[in-house]
Structure 1
Amino acid sequence: MNRTRSATLALVVALALVTGCSGGTDRQADVAARGAAVMPFDLERTTHRFTKADTGGVQTVVADDPTDTGQIDPIRQHLRTETDRFSRGDYTDPGRIHGDDMPGLAALRTGAARITVTYQDIPAGGQITYTTADPALVTALHAWFDAQVTDHGPHAEHG
């Protein structure tokens, strides 16, 4: 782990201990700590948004300050990498952050060939679009989105 990630992880853990995760849960503090080791951007300076659609959904991550290239560039790089992995059924990073028993995750792994996963730069960040004609996979995506919003607490929202 590089020094920046180590420092970020230490800060997240310290803040969680001192503030009780600002009204969040112990699980949210654990997820934030694990997320700091996986995601190369600062959760405190970014927002995840999960928007459900009839054919899947859209996941966005944006810097809270639209001029913060120190967050925008790592967001885009991370989401591009994750798009490639997700399209191959590799959901290792969400499993590391949220746990392998995360709702919807097993179905997304096994059904990856039936999900189109695309990336696009957007102002202040990036977005991943998930599209499928399989109703069971739409349900899995929605459950996965809901779990992420719950687990990320104040750093995530429904679209």
Structure 2
Amino acid sequence: MNSEHRRARALTAVLAAVAFAAAATAYALIGRGEQQAPAARQAEIAARGRQVMPFDLERTTHRFAKSATGGVQTVTSDDPADAGQVRSIREHLTAEAAAFGKGDYGDPASIHGGGMPGLHDLERGHDRIDIRYAELPAGARITYTTTDASLVTALHAWFDAQVADHGRHAEHG
């Protein structure tokens, strides 16, 4: 093999190594960006939530439990003896249940955005969803029940979006 051919092969090997290193670095940065994006969105959602929800996200827990006919949204104070948090939860969920029953999902839209999964279907199908509010010792819950399979799917998508957006402040029940 002549020296010119060896140099060409060496240059090709170096360029391949540089390309591989660049791709690996880009992949690592993209991976970090994907991990940071949810955290940034969750911080944004928490900030918007403070404008809508009167209780402290740091001192409460949201649970979203799916069922075959809809699901149950529960908000409780992490300290059941915190009467202020419990009162704020109950007042908020009372108002939300009444609004949702009329097809008004403006509060979730203002927190999560109008493109929130399931939101438009819930607004359009609100008259086919039974929405019931109930007090709990440490907060309150809203139960959503429907026989419309597409609305069950919308509720489940809406629940999943809330759990994802609220991060450590929410969980599947």
Which TM class, normalised by the smaller chain length?
0.7 to 0.9
d(CA) in 2 for partners of 1:124, 1:24: 29
**TM-score, normalising length: structure 2:** 0.78
Paired amino acid for 1:30: E
Partner of 2:62: 48
The structural deviation recorded for 1:149 is: 0.2
Q: 1:78 aligns with which of 77, 86, 92?
A: 92
**What is the root-mean-square deviation in Å for CA atoms of aligned residues?**
1.3
Q: Which protein is bigger by CA-based radius of gyration?
A: 2
Q: Which of these residues, 158, 163, 168, is aligned with residue 149 of structure 1?
A: 163
Mapped to 2, the partners of 1:130 and 1:114 lie a distance apart of 10
Q: Is the 8 A contact 2:163 2:172 kept in 1?
A: yes
Greater per-residue helix proportion:
2
Unaligned 5+ runs, structure 2 = 1-36
Q: How does 1:1-159 map to 2 (within 5 A)?
A: 25-159=39-173
Residues in 2 aligned to 1:126 and 1:119: alpha-carbon distance in whole angstroms: 7
Identity of aligned residues (%): 64
- 1:151 partner letter: D
Q: Which runs of 4+ in 1 moved over 2 A?
A: none
Q: 2:84 & 2:44 partners in 1: Cα distance?
A: 24
Q: How many correspondences in the alignment?
A: 138
Give the C-alpha shift of residue 123 in structure 1: 1.4
- 2:123 aligned partner, one-letter code: R
Q: Which runs of 5+ in 1 are unaligned?
A: 1-22
Q: TM-score, normalised by structure 1?
A: 0.85
